[in-house]
Amino acid sequence: MRTFDDAGIFAGHTVLVRSDLNVPMDNGTITDRGRIAASAGTIRTLAEAGAKVIVMSHLGRPKGAPDPQYSLAPIAPELAEAIGRPVTFAADTVGDDAKARAAALSAGEVLLLENLRFNPGETSKDDAERREFAAQLAALADDFVSDGFGVVHRRQASVCDIAELLPHYAGSLVRAEVEVSDRLLNDPARPFTVVLGGSKVSDKLGVIDNLLDRADNLLIGGGMVFTFLAALGHPIGSSLVETDRIDDVKAHLKRSEAGDGAARIVLPTDIVMAEKFSADAEHWVAESAELESTPAGASALGLDIGPDTAQTYAEIIAGSTTVFWNGPMGVFEFAAFSAGTKAVAAALTDEGRSADIDAAKRLTVVGGGDSAAAVRSLGFADDAFGHISTGGGASLEYLEGKTLPGLDALG
């Protein structure tokens, strides 16, 4: 993978930067600016070196045509604040406005194009259609810098095809993400603990398979825990379960129990159960093997790991030198079911570290997506952790050992 170590090589050049500015929005308001802040470094460095910078990104999942609710227009002022210089906005991607604004750029100026996914060529499965759109983008610039780690697992025009048309480099964000992921896979300081949560176990089976023989501990939480409990024969009420994945889970549990270097899989001993999925639902703590032993019975559902489990997980994490965490422990958006996620996050911080763990060697990684949103919404600062990934899906696929097309395209 080719990276640029001297931004001065771009002085006077027009540089296309593929960023990932796909931030969560609520009625036009950005609710988490993490990806904007993470993208700012490469853009700022290029602009300060005298490049004419054209930033491109997607937002949401429009269906290959302009859709006002997915416009990147609200992102432009936020990006300007993050990089400390003005950002102009083009109302299209490769149309007249984009061409005119790109041609008018001066050294150090920054332009943001409209949502790439407003053009069907961006995500097309047809190679020729993707390449045509990539060629139109490439015509705007002299060089291409790939800095959107959150999309490097996608074969898309602005991620892969454009790298065949312009001199190409990895940006500082992509480089940092790859370095951290490589350290997790190949050189973790021990003890190494992996914490996995979220709703679906199917999303994490590949990571479990690849890390089971690399980690020391594998802590399971979130909705995916109920497929594990079902695999052990425990009743789980109305909790989320993927019955078609029970055999896969059983196989992983068997590998763990057999030892031979496999990580210890740790499951919750207690669960916060609720009568319904609601922020104000009546709730209680039940032992993991007896989740239906309440008046609610089989209609109850689990929405968080219990307090005993949260304490156990926090102690294991605090005593680990390397920690990778992906997926909340419960429905953290509801205050009553956020305690497990908050306990895990606190244990990942330097303040949560055990006294016998060397701070200089410790690496704690929050694996993007809902995990990143959770730590910010629960009041934790980004710099409280060793690294917060910007790519949930990309991060998981890298740790599964998959080849990511966007990285492969950089050579």
Going by the annotation, the residues of the binding site are 20-22, 35, 58-61, 117, 154, 204, 302, 333, 368-371
Q: Supply the DSSP symbol for 403.
A: P
Active site residue 393: yes
Binding residues for ATP: 204, 302, 333, 368-371
Catalytic residue among 200, 250, 264, 362: 200
Task: Say how many C-beta atoms besides its own lie within 10 A of residue 156's C-beta.
Answer: 25
The candidate with the shortest Cα–Cα distance to 36, out of 48, 20, 59, is 20
Q: How far apart are CA 60 and CA 252, in angstroms?
A: 34
Residue written as token pair 């102690």:
315
Task: State residue 336 phi and psi, 5-degree precision.
Answer: -65, -15
Residues 294/284, Cβ–Cβ less than 8 Å: yes
Q: How far apart are CA 305 and CA 318, in angstroms?
A: 18
Residues 318/352, Cβ–Cβ less than 8 Å: yes
Catalytic residue among 33, 35, 101, 245: 35
Query: Strand 270-274 vs strand 283-287: parallel, antiparallel, or unpaired?
Result: antiparallel
Residues 361/189, Cβ–Cβ less than 8 Å: yes
Inter-helix orientation angle 34-48/369-377, to 10°: 100
Question: How far, CA to CA in Å, does 235 sit from each of 209, 247, 287?
Answer: 25, 16, 11
Provide the 3-class DSSP secondary structure of residue 255. Answer: helix
Catalytic residue among 369, 391, 392, 406: 369
Residues 321/363, Cβ–Cβ less than 8 Å: yes
Active site residue 254: no
| DSSP secondary structure of 338-396 | -HHHHHHHHHHSSTTS-TTS-TTT-EEEE-SHHHHHHHHHTT--GGGSSEE-S-HHHHH
Question: How far, CA to CA in Å, does 218 sit from each of 73, 83, 253, 325?
Answer: 42, 38, 11, 10
| DSSP secondary structure of 290-351 | GTT-STTGGG-EEEEE-HHHHHHHHHHHHT-SEEEEES-SS-TTSGGG-HHHHHHHHHHSST
Binding residues for substrate: 20-22, 35, 58-61, 117, 154
- 191: cis peptide before it, omega within 30°? yes
Active site residue 35: yes
Q: How far apart are CA 376 and CA 389, in angstroms?
A: 13
Active site residue 150: no
Catalytic residues: 35, 200, 369, 393
